[in-house]
Amino acid sequence: MILWLLFLVLASWFRLKYPHVAMGAVASSAPILQFDDITPWSSFDDTVSQDFKSESLNCFSVIKAVWDVLDDRGSNHTGLLELSKTFRACKTVQSADSLGNWLATAFTYTAMVDYPTPANFMMNLPAYPVKEMCKIIDSFPTGADVIDKAFAAASLYYNYTGDQKCFQVEGDDDPHGLNGWGWQYCTEMVMPMTGSNESMFPPASFSYENTSEDCLRYYGVRPRMHWITTEYGGHKIDKVLKRFGSNIIFSNGMRDPWSRGG
């Protein structure tokens, strides 16, 4: 998710920082306001959820229901073995969290690349992939297992080309080279994110203290929480841009999960 966040915010920040070099910038999907308390922390998850809801309420409800079922069945070894088969995992998974993350990644990334044409930015996907996922979910009989429904929808993201023998649910697979984001996040780009009651994802909270402790544990650094807004601004951005940052075109579709932050 972040790889491109970096591309996109960088255009506007470059223009602000080097006005003598760049006469303007096209900043498409650039959440320069997704920091501090400028944008509601739940806006990203809320928009992803809204995208799915706008296709079908059933689709939204199925996804919302899957997390508890997953936690319940994945609570012991037998359950995890069964789930590993259902998810066609290459190796038996060690925790239900991994399966949840695997599903959530599929829904989140698909919302970010919900283009009206076939594309292969993150993965090969058809036009309107969120609509296609919801069609898959809606095509099941009502009483079918929510996990089967959610898995089938997520398979659109991971296996649209049909060439996957099994899924690497856990492990170091990082096809898009996103692991660097953790370091970036933990140094100068902390983006608070939470879930609200509008969300189809499990509840999520955020605290600066916990984030700081996590960063210290993983990377041995403490983040500079407010560095971005100190360096580039963010509060009262309309005034800032008017006075110091002309010729920046911000473009977003409202279905873009980043749209509320930029």
Ligand X SMILES: *[C@@H]1O[C@H](CO)[C@@H](O)[C@H](O)[C@H]1NC(C)=O
Q: How far is the CB of 42 from ligand X (least distance, A)?
A: 10
Quick check: 196 and 46 in contact, CB under 8 A? yes
Residues that bind ligand X (CB under 6 A): 72-73, 75-76, 78-79, 88, 155, 159, 162, 164, 166-167, 197, 205-207, 210
Nearer to ligand X, 116 or 162 (CB): 162
Token pair, residue 69, equals 């079922």
Q: Taking the complex as a whole, how short is the minimal distance between the CB of residue 27 and ligand X, in angstroms?
A: 31
How near is the Cβ of 20 to ligand X at its closest, in Å?
Answer: 43
Residue with Cβ nearer ligand X (83 or 237): 83
The residue among 78 and 142 lying less far from ligand X, judged by its C-beta, is 78
Q: Give min distance, CB of 153 to ligand X, in A.
A: 13
Question: Least separation, in Å, of the C-beta of 74 and ligand X?
Answer: 9
Q: Pick the closer one to ligand X by CB: 39 or 155.
A: 155
Q: Which is nearer to ligand X, 8 or 83 (CB)?
A: 83
Q: Which residue is nearest to ligand X (CB)?
A: 162
CA torsion through residues 188, 179, 13, 21, sign: positive
In the complex with ligand X, the residue whose CB is nearer, 34 or 211, is: 211
Q: How far is the CB of 187 from ligand X (least distance, A)?
A: 21
Smallest gap from residue 15 Cβ to ligand X (A): 35
For ligand X, the closer CB: 73 or 260: 73
By the 10 Å C-beta count (0-12 exposed, 13-18 middle, 19+ buried), 246 is classed as exposed
- What distance in Å separates the CA atoms of residue 45 and residue 200, rounded to the nearest whole number? 8
